[in-house]
């Protein structure tokens, strides 16, 4: 049995005709249905390589220069537009945009990336709970944006 692919990696399967097919969701239409693209290859390795190049060609280029002193609010907007939004349905897009605009920007938006710590995020979540806000997927939104910073190495180390 093969391993489970991570979210956003796409699907790779062996077709009845002996070829491998790779399929990835590139966005959603106005009705919220997924738009997909696929690649075909004779071997699984070839298919995975083609799928990776397809994903790179479909994802938008990063226009904003990421800086260590960039405020967390700007980073979350950048992360949302470039990494998260293309994979979300319209209703999820609205809730993410509202959460960033109403909660993250006012509370954590001005903190530079190189000064932001996990303690800052924990205080933010505690404030949300104390204020009576329900937290379902929103902590995942902020934490996922935080984890993406590790790829760019602009965040402060965890205490």
Q: How far is CA 46 from CA 12, 19, 114, 121, in A?
A: 11, 10, 39, 41
Q: If you write DSSP's letter for every residue of 79-141 in order, what string do you get?
A: HIIIIIGGGS-HHHHHHHHHHIIIIIHHHHTTSBTTT--HHHHHHHHHHHHHTT---SSHHHH
| pLDDT tens per residue, range 106-116 | 888 888 888 88
* Mean pLDDT per 10-residue section of the chain, whose length is 159 residues: 69 94 84 86 94 81 67 85 80 85 87 85 81 62 64 49
H or E segment and range at residue 48: helix 44-58
Q: What is the pLDDT of residue 49?
A: 94
3-state secondary structure of 31: coil
In terms of pTM, does the model score above 0.75?
Answer: no
Percent of the chain whose pLDDT exceeds 70: 74
The span from the CA of 148 to the CA of 141, in Å, is 11
Task: Please return the burial class of 24, using the count of CB atoms within 10 Å of its CB with bins 0-12, 13-18 and 19+.
Answer: buried
């Amino acid at each position: 049995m093969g391993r489970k692919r991570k979210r956003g990696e796409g699907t790779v399967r062996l077709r009845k005709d002996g070829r491998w097919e790779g399929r990835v969701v590139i966005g959603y239409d106005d009705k919220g249905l997924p738009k997909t693209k696929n690649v075909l290859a004779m071997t699984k390795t070839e298919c995975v390589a083609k799928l990776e190049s397809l994903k790179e060609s479909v994802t938008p280029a990063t226009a904003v220069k990421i800086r260590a002193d960039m405020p967390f609010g700007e980073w979350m907007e950048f992360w949302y537009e470039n990494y998260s939004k293309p994979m979300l349905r319209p209703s999820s897009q609205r809730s993410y945009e509202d959460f960033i605009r109403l909660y993250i920007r006012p509370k954590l938006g001005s903190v530079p990336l190189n000064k932001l710590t996990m303690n800052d995020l924990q205080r933010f979540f505690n404030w949300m709970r104390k204020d009576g806000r329900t937290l379902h997927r929103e902590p995942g939104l902020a934490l996922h944006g935080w984890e993406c910073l590790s790829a760019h190495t602009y965040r402060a180390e965890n205490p």
